[in-house]
Structure 1
């Protein structure tokens, strides 16, 4: 039913290659690595990171002492993290949107109730462990790392799903449960980034520009053609818009929405989210990793297919520009992130999942045991991609950010822990 290996090879192997390259580069020649990451592509007043902050942090590295009245610097890091990663988050938003809005979406109805409650536990648990241990280490540590409370809340869908299949087997109901939990976790992660990690001073009124772009493109290129085609079985107008204009109006609206997010102070990598629901979509969803999705001809799935190769390359550069941390930066934030993921995730998912299945009487899927919730929690502790991203926006560049990123990278240890937990709890693999 699912082609998880194809998804992992498409979206994750290049990411890993980029991350490994960054680790090697940063530990061989840290100065040249940071020179590449923060290289100034364009000094301007339209887009980029704050020029004064860049000058203060990296001016000496590039021999730049004065920028005049320039307000922004487009760096290589900004190009990837703030502009091009918007396409990655658009793909994540597409999966969440279909799971919520379509009548057979995976996050609709009672079948999603227990995974949703468990997802809440998978966020409360890591936050509690992270902040609790930080407080135990003293006020100085707590004050330095408190802003990174969301770093250990993330779950990497692709890698967690792959490990889940290795632990439970392809046909085990726990794999489906894990997938629902991971999708819901991604949705919560997008909300957290938007609310708690703005990229600048907030100007919420600018979001009206994003809303206007979304409404305009939906009305003119989605709703109006369908309205004009009522009673016309040939769907002349909709077909013309689909064949002649394709995704271009939505890309233009996305550019406007991205700029509005940047101007509003919200992280611009989320700028395409309001546009995703405006694209014409199929009447049903087959689920992430589903082979059938590649044969859908609606514009939403067609656009996703077109984005696949570019996003692969984007993820390589994301890994290259964000995972370059020196091993000597391992410090308290590293262990706090790891503890949040490796302890808080399993504990939170187990506790909240049990409450949902037992006292709340929402139940578990047939063939799934309560102890399987703990194993699922271990699998979901692989943070990686989104954890890296949150660490990069939660902390300014420097030792604390690097230490937190190292915790996200080391969360791959959850794969081995999950395999061991599966053996110790007597998981019966259901192959298929």
Structure 2
């Protein structure tokens, strides 16, 4: 339990602190809050939001009437588009290891039913969200349709913690939940890349990202390994590992990030191609395994270096994105919540049941079919990624009546912590037998 709590402390509590400060601040003095959020840190021609857009939308608030540069690096852009790339890199690292390493969580028959349940955990929320929006009328549907992916997300840290509280550390449903959450992270990254571009698409810029990834993989990964063939002490790989460390990958990451920014794909995903090129361990022990913190491969070494900086990044992410006025609560809030609290549990149950029984893929030993519903309730805690998707799905000026759609949807992501209470109740009703150990 210590390892799990340590992970949650590192990656989520500061995020919650930032979110709570933002909520209080925005409801006391919304104007000063938003002035800080969009504060222009630098005017330049390389990194940031379009200068014309920023000037029209925010310039008057800072007394800026003319901009001579092409870009404006705002506080919000720095956190959401630049620094959050390191958070998504860590998420991608866990997904990548689960897919390619020996004993990886998403390899083999053991992952089949959780993968089907993951699909259900996305189809269910989307169906509920869009179905209810359609029922509320065309005005509501047209205003909220871009937010269909918000209720598909699962906050891996808090869901895993709640899962252990409901099922006990030794219950097979906890591992099932972890597999589902990792697969959900992978799907979330794909959704962000495909469905939520940050601007007009210019796919030719992705050649810069691909080129940087290929070059760094060949020169600093494959080439040293090739030169070390037949040499037990691996002198070339050791020299690269000790002398150059992560620096070549950081440079390649900067190039890849810039390629994503210019291509129109959300730049927070810009480090993903580089993650795939970094030397990694031979086998996976799992995201919460004690052995993870003792691995010395470069990929895990980089993750350990990023741990504390990412904690700070998540604090500012919460601070700059969760500042929603309570008066913004409206239809989008309830649609996101319905997608998470209704769509997730029933989607996971139905698709998991279909995979386990009609398809005969089975469930882990000692896990009941009804446990799938409880797993779905636990995975309905969206929070971090739901909040991020809400911030990119809607422009801050999109309105539904007098309610800002983005703010209302963000409130739904914040309220998704209600899934923890729902999970405890579902566990009691379905008579989950806790298995500690």
Could you say which TM-score interval applies, normalised by the shorter chain? over 0.9
> Does residue 42 of structure 1 match 2:34?
no
- For residues 306 and 10 of structure 2, the distance between their equivalents in structure 1, rounded to whole angstroms, comes to 11
Deviations 1:85-107 (A, max 9, x none): 00000000000000000121000
CA shift for structure 1 position 64: 1.7
- For residues 52 and 204 of structure 2, the distance between their equivalents in structure 1, rounded to whole angstroms, comes to 25
Query: Which residue number in structure 2 is paired with residue 309 of structure 1?
Result: 308
CA pair 2-288 structure 1, distance change in 2 beyond 3 A: farther
Q: How do 1:66-145 and structure 2 match up within 5 A?
A: 66-68=66-68, 70-145=69-144
- For residues 270 and 184 of structure 1, the distance between their equivalents in structure 2, rounded to whole angstroms, comes to 17
- For residues 228 and 129 of structure 1, the distance between their equivalents in structure 2, rounded to whole angstroms, comes to 55
For structure 2, list consecutive stretches of 5 or more residues without a partner in the other structure: 398-403
CA shift for structure 1 position 410: 0.2
Q: How do 1:185-264 and structure 2 match up within 5 A?
A: 185-264=184-263
What SS does the aligned partner of 1:3 have?
helix
C-alpha RMSD of matched pairs (Å): 0.8
What SS does the aligned partner of 2:151 have?
helix
CA shift for structure 1 position 236: 1.1
Query: Which residue number in structure 2 is paired with residue 167 of structure 1?
Result: 166
Query: Which residue number in structure 2 is paired with residue 391 of structure 1?
Result: 390
What SS does the aligned partner of 1:278 have?
coil
Query: Which residue number in structure 1 is paired with residue 400 of structure 2?
Result: none
CA shift for structure 1 position 2: 7.3
Contact 1:2 1:289 (8 Å CA) reproduced = no
- For residues 305 and 77 of structure 2, the distance between their equivalents in structure 1, rounded to whole angstroms, comes to 23
Contact 1:11 1:312 (8 Å CA) reproduced = yes
* Number of aligned residues: 431
Query: Which residue number in structure 2 is paired with residue 12 of structure 1?
Result: 12
- For residues 7 and 103 of structure 1, the distance between their equivalents in structure 2, rounded to whole angstroms, comes to 23
- For residues 335 and 52 of structure 1, the distance between their equivalents in structure 2, rounded to whole angstroms, comes to 34
Deviations 1:198-234 (A, max 9, x none): 0000011111111110010011111111111111122
Contact 1:173 1:366 (8 Å CA) reproduced = yes
Contact 1:2 1:291 (8 Å CA) reproduced = no
Deviations 1:110-139 (A, max 9, x none): 000000000000000000000001000100
Query: Which residue number in structure 1 is paired with residue 335 of structure 2?
Result: 336
Query: Which residue number in structure 2 is paired with residue 428 of structure 1?
Result: 433
Partner residue of 2:410 out of 397, 405, 419: 405
CA shift for structure 1 position 28: 0.7
What SS does the aligned partner of 2:272 have?
coil
TM-score of the superposed pair, with normalisation by structure 1: 0.99
For structure 1, list consecutive stretches of 5 or more residues without a partner in the other structure: none
- For residues 250 and 411 of structure 2, the distance between their equivalents in structure 1, rounded to whole angstroms, comes to 35
Query: Which residue number in structure 1 is paired with residue 147 of structure 2?
Result: 148
Query: Which residue number in structure 1 is paired with residue 59 of structure 2?
Result: 59
- For residues 270 and 332 of structure 1, the distance between their equivalents in structure 2, rounded to whole angstroms, comes to 30
Q: Runs (4+) of structure 1 moved beyond 3 Å?
A: none
Partner residue of 1:418 out of 423, 426, 432: 423
Q: How do 1:320-359 and structure 2 match up within 5 A?
A: 320-359=319-358
